[in-house]
Amino acid sequence: MRDERGVTKCVVWDCDDTLWEGALLEGGGQRLKPGIEAIIRALDGRGILQSIASKNNHDDVVARLEGLGIGEFFVAPQVGWYPKSAMLKRLCEILNIGENALMMVDDLAFERDEIRSELPNVVCIDAAAYATLPDLPHVNPAVISRDAGERRLRYQEEARRKSDQERFEGPADAFLASLGMRMRIARATEDDLERAEELTRRTNQMNTTGIPYDRDTLHALLDDERFAILICDVDDRYGTYGTVGLALVELGDRDWRIRLFLTSCRVVNRGVGNAFLHTIINRGVAARRGITADWRGTGRNRPMELTYRLAGFRSDSVEAVDPAIQVLRLEAPGERAVPPYIAIDATAFDRVPASCAARS
């Protein structure tokens, strides 16, 4: 099974003599390099974000990108007169991704070396080889879901949310309430498996085990009465976040065991993860089942460990088949609070039996 954790999530382009011919300040930038637009569109269709890191005047670059008809394809362009490594660090913060998820395309060896010295996990590509970029394994994800083609739009919607939040006068919860967030929790169907697989491969921080599941494995679980695959979709007044959560729950006669729980980084700080997890817990408690959960540290999923701990999970005496997995048990079972600013449609649970025995 191919693991997507080395796959690029954002390609960052230099501008002068990389995206376009010549230097903008010297009258260049009148036309794109041959084939560049097709490459940009291809990457966008694969769900790979693209941005800019350019030493230029910001407004001039933005205007030129728009004039060349490609401005819409770039999120959070970083333009100024400071080191490009600093630009990339800022981009990681904005997009909430790790440096190993970035690829930088630049024509100057000096700039590539400066980035490597500060951010050794960024993949740096000589712009002279740009024509071969679409063939690199880093930008060829094993799974391209329906959500992938809309990923850039989702990030651009998020940028508008953040901009409005910065201008919002009032507490954070009041702003979240103003979003009108709606969450739908559903049993996965065959049509959802592609996105489910993609989530297990792409999600690093908010992932309880870091174990990828391929479509065949998910399909087998879909047909297995002992398991429920749950997906979580969210939208608000800005648009849809798409499918941003996935849970694999084993329906035991005594316990519900959460084998996998993950949420997209796009909904971090929105309360979505807590709402999804606490809804699962509350339905399990209502079914008079104990709640356990698998945990496997990856070095990158510390935020999800904190989520489990805050929900009340503690180490259990049960040993997992995989020695790398620790089984946690929910202490003091009882209803967990769900953020009041999220309207939750969890009618899918009406079709989830308390255990596989309930089907017989």
Centre a 10 Å sphere on the Cβ of residue 216 and count the other Cβ atoms it contains: 11
Distinct helix (H) and strand (E) counts, the chain: 10, 13
Each residue of 45-70: pLDDT tens digit? Answer: 999 999 999 999 999 999 999 999 99
Q: What is the pLDDT of residue 183?
A: 97
Contacts 24+ apart (CB under 8 A), 114-121: 114/83, 114/84, 114/85, 115/84, 115/85, 115/88, 117/85, 118/83, 118/85, 118/86, 118/89, 119/85, 119/88, 119/89
**What is the phi/psi pair of residue 131, to 5°?**
-65, -25
CA pseudo-torsion sign 280, 340, 95, 298:
negative
Q: What is the pLDDT of residue 317?
A: 66
List, for the chain, all residue ranges whose pLDDT scores fall below the cut of 50. Answer: 1-5, 357-360
Answer for the pair 304, 298: CB distance below 8 angstroms, yes or no. Answer: no
- Calculate Rg over the CA atoms of the chain: 22
Domain ranges of the chain: 4-139, 180-359
Q: What is the pLDDT of residue 324?
A: 86
Pick from 72, 84, 81: which is nearest to 40 by CA?
72
CA distance 52 to 72: 12
Instruction: Report the predicted TM-score, pTM, of the whole model to 2 decimal places.
Output: 0.81
Each residue of 73-127: pLDDT tens digit? Answer: 999 999 999 999 999 999 999 998 889 999 999 999 999 999 999 999 999 999 9
Q: Is domain 4-139 in CATH 3.40.50.1000, yes or no?
A: yes
- In CATH terms, the superfamily for domain 180-359 is Gcn5-related N-acetyltransferase (GNAT) (3.40.630.30)
